[in-house]
Structure 1
Amino acid sequence: MHLSQRAVLALSVIAGVAASGSAFAHGTLSKPSSRVYSCYQGNPENPTNPACAAAKHVGGAQPFYDWAGVNQANANGNHQAVVPDGELCSGGNSKYRGLDLNRSDWPTSPIRADSHGRYTFEFKAPAPHATREWKFYVTRDGWQPGSPLRWADLEAFCTLGNVPVSGNVYKLDCPLPKRSGQHVIYNTWQRSDSGEAFYTCADVRFEGGGGVTPPPQWQDAGPVTARGALDVGTTVTLRVFNDQGNDLERPEITLAAGQTAANQWPLALARKVNASAQHARVGVLKNGVITPVASATENRVYLTPGHLFQLDTRVPDPDPVDPPPGDYDFVYPAGLGSYIPGQTVVKGTDGKLYACRPFPEGAWCNINAEAYRPGTGSAWRDAWIAY
């Protein structure tokens, strides 16, 4: 074999190894930059940052090159069980133990909320995955940079479900809590297609106020009790009221296959509530963090002070029977107030036909409110069945 042929073969082998290695990459925060990603960008072989240099002395340079792999293969949402206190930045993975060094001189990124108190995190993912949950934490007020990082030092401030990826980057919009000075933002990314989870520490410096004021202390308002499984297509709604009985918000979920068991639909509802509601959280309260669990009885509803809740379930509509063309009683809203539950059919403003639900839900058909406008109102399904 000629020398040039050997060189080509060697380059082919190296390229193959590099390609196979990248296939096992996963992801890390790039905005703000994670601890491991900052060290990777700051010369892995000869780090200019003293904390990165100390981490290299402990674990070598390879962890920096493998910045996307801070993981636990079998976390399955049980992050505190698999990642011990003091090992949060390494994700409990000994390969990355240098990231757990208790230092105050890690590279930091400035962070500031927008005019709405929100911030869009960017998570660089060379190998995107189907997602069960994204969760963001920030170190509590009074935490000192350079101290060991424990779960009790963290306060959760944002939980998201499956977010679409764009160009190998997840953009994750969250309310940003009010802080000042240097802190750590901690992120967990739990896959839905396996038990594997990924962990990220980002050293940040909060600038210029902004952010959102943390809500008042959550108050325990009662349990979410599942007395049995529900049907696929059932809609479960958590309605939150003020002390005058007015609806404040109503996060809801329509159950899909795999979410209907008695220990699963409360979990699905809790994730929806925690990702979208302002005045409510659902889960188990521990160390100041409310975490949803797969259980028929353990999840509880926590509300901001002075509020009440009601849990509503609505079974799937029966298969509609197509009425003959023109077979309707009114063109909505004509005749409003005289509709008969279980009988009246109207033609909605969208041109489709809707039947007034049977009593007692059908009483909502005669309510003159935008929310109950058939087909278009935010709560039209409470009153109408679509043909």
Structure 2
Amino acid sequence: MSTLTRPRRLPLVAWLLAAGAIAVLLLTTVLAAPASAHGSVVDPASRNYGCWQRWGNDFQNPAMATQDPMCWQAWQYDTTAMWNWNGLYREGVAGNHQAAIPDGQLCSAGHTGDGRYNSLDAVGAWKTTSVANSFRVRLWDQASHGADYIRVYVTKQGFDALSKPLAWSDLEQVGQIGNTPASQWTPESQGVSIQIPANAPGRTGRHIVYTIWQASHSDQSYYLCSDVDFGGGSTTPPTTPPPTTPPPAPAGCAASYKSTGQWPGGFQGEVEVTAGSSAIQGWTVTWTLAGGQQISSAWNATVTTSGSTVTARNASYNGALAAGAKATFGLTGSGSNSTPTLSCTATA
């Protein structure tokens, strides 16, 4: 591991990228799907896929707090859980799903991903999709893993999704398909998809659809909560946030990268860190180096590398940021220039 710091900013390289190209790079960084693509239920949308789909272009808009309060608390808890909507899985479960996932943690896959997805277990009026008692679950597989099996469950009639954490005993299986290689799925522009028929007679009102996708890739099990309304009705949550489980304390940040120079065999870049809706005391930005890249120097942050993973932590003077405030740090490196996918973690 190497630690790289530099006390002052380097002069900009003479050939900066054109302003239009920089804007494209910034937009690509913010909106790009995660590098290690997997998949999720997209109809009826899983909780974090729906939040990303509705608010990915505007996730710092305070109107979300009243228009979509459950998504608001999820974005505030960890933005990477929304950007990585296709990574909600566990490995090595070996089919023992109930042993691996405790009651109350079904929507976060048992606090998988170092707790990144914990906010998805919050109880409250998640936005719903209207469905009939006979419906289909559409699962999108970006990496074309295929499935050993996919099982669809629905909460039993009488379950109160507005006040009760989801438990295994609340679920009834209503659909399933067996081993289905990706070659039998429907081709999409970015991956493949498949529809699983489901039948949940006697259901009315708000319910949770719970999908277990056992991917044909190592031993990856995906656990996906979708909120539905059987028989139609309003899908708009109340204007006052209704969760009975207190949402996590809001703290978050986002990071974007822009290239500020490149030359044969090297490059220079700048990372902008933006605090979320509340003040933060520090920030950490991580990303993965492209093949052949190495970091040569950095300033306004302490940057370390371990293999291909880069970790940048705030300096002593730019970690504390007010809500919406920004900090920047710069770096130079060797290798070909590229736009990395950044992950930002804040310290409250």
Compute the TM-score of the two structures, normalised by the length of structure 2. 0.52
Structural mapping, 1:188-267, within 5 Å = 188-207=212-231
The Cα offsets for residues 77-117 of structure 1, whole Å up to 9 and x where unpaired, read as 221122111111111121100111111x100000014xxxx
Q: Secondary structure at the match of 2:201?
A: coil
User: Residues of 2 paired with 1:34 and 1:20: CA distance?
Assistant: 19
Q: Secondary structure at the match of 1:77?
A: coil
Describe the shift of the 1:13–1:74 C-alpha distance in structure 2 as closer, same or farther (beyond 3 A). Answer: farther
User: Residues of 2 paired with 1:173 and 1:66: CA distance?
Assistant: 26
Q: CA deviation at 1:175?
A: 2.9
Q: Which amino acid aligns with 1:26?
A: H
Match of 2:132 among 88, 92, 112: 112
User: Runs of 5+ in structure 1 lacking a partner?
Assistant: 209-387
- Give the alignment's Cα RMSD to 1 decimal: 2.8
Report the counterpart of residue 82 of structure 2 in structure 1.
64
Match of 1:95 among 116, 120, 123: 116
Structural mapping, 1:307-318, within 5 Å = none
Q: CA deviation at 1:56?
A: 2.4
User: Residues of 1 paired with 2:69 and 2:30: CA distance?
Assistant: 29
The answer to whether the Cα contact below 8 Å between 1:111 and 1:206 also exists between their aligned partners in 2 is yes
Structural mapping, 1:75-224, within 5 Å = 75-92=93-110, 93=112, 94-103=115-124, 105-113=125-133, 118-146=134-162, 147-163=164-180, 164-166=184-186, 167=188, 168-207=192-231
The answer to whether the Cα contact below 8 Å between 1:112 and 1:206 also exists between their aligned partners in 2 is yes
Q: Secondary structure at the match of 2:212?
A: strand
Q: Secondary structure at the match of 1:33?
A: coil
Compute the TM-score of the two structures, normalised by the length of structure 1. 0.47
The structure number with the bigger radius of gyration is 1
Identical aligned residues as a percent: 31
The answer to whether the Cα contact below 8 Å between 1:181 and 1:206 also exists between their aligned partners in 2 is yes
The Cα offsets for residues 3-45 of structure 1, whole Å up to 9 and x where unpaired, read as 4349799789879978996341211111111111221122133
The answer to whether the Cα contact below 8 Å between 2:154 and 2:200 also exists between their aligned partners in 1 is no
Higher relative contact order (CA 8 A, sep 6+): 2
Describe the shift of the 1:76–1:8 C-alpha distance in structure 2 as closer, same or farther (beyond 3 A). Answer: farther
User: Residues of 2 paired with 1:145 and 1:15: CA distance?
Assistant: 36
Structural mapping, 1:16-35, within 5 Å = 22-35=34-47
Describe the shift of the 1:140–1:127 C-alpha distance in structure 2 as closer, same or farther (beyond 3 A). Answer: same
Q: Secondary structure at the match of 1:205?
A: strand
**Which structure carries more strand by proportion?**
2
**Which structure carries more helix by proportion?**
1
Describe the shift of the 1:32–1:9 C-alpha distance in structure 2 as closer, same or farther (beyond 3 A). Answer: closer
Describe the shift of the 1:176–1:67 C-alpha distance in structure 2 as closer, same or farther (beyond 3 A). Answer: same
The answer to whether the Cα contact below 8 Å between 2:147 and 2:214 also exists between their aligned partners in 1 is yes
Q: Secondary structure at the match of 2:106?
A: coil
Q: Secondary structure at the match of 1:193?
A: coil
